[in-house]
Homo-oligomer: A and B are copies of this chain.
Amino acid sequence: MPQEIGRQYKEILRQYVMRQTEQNLYAGQNFSRQLIQKNIAPEDVISIHKVALEEMYPELPMNVWHSFDLLIEMMIRYGLAHAEHQSLIQQQE
């Protein structure tokens, strides 16, 4: 996964955490559309979020980072379902 994605997401997250405006929320929605187009799996989105948050708040307790690892594992199943969806669409084309 390109480092550029992580950098862009961190900026979107930083803006949103500062101000929860419609515009900042829209930036996130728009970014997720781009990630889906690039075939970024949902568990990778959680990883990108975790990395951005770690850089922004390195002082958070270790348990918070452990909790993200479980969430990533949970999302892997959803990622598989999504990949299956992509392959179904390709079959129908």
User: A residues within 8 Å of B by Cβ?
Assistant: 12-13, 16-17, 20, 25, 28-29, 31-33, 35-36, 42, 45-46, 49, 53, 56-57, 60-61, 63-64, 66-67, 69-71, 73-78, 81-82, 84-85, 88-89, 92
Contacts and interface: CB of A to CB of B under 8 A. Distances in A.
Nearest to A69: B20
Contacts of A13: 67, 70
A75 B36 contact: no
Q: How many chain copies does the complex carry?
A: 2
Given A29-B73, A36-B77, A45-B78, A16 B84 contact: no
Contacts of A45: 71, 74-75, 78
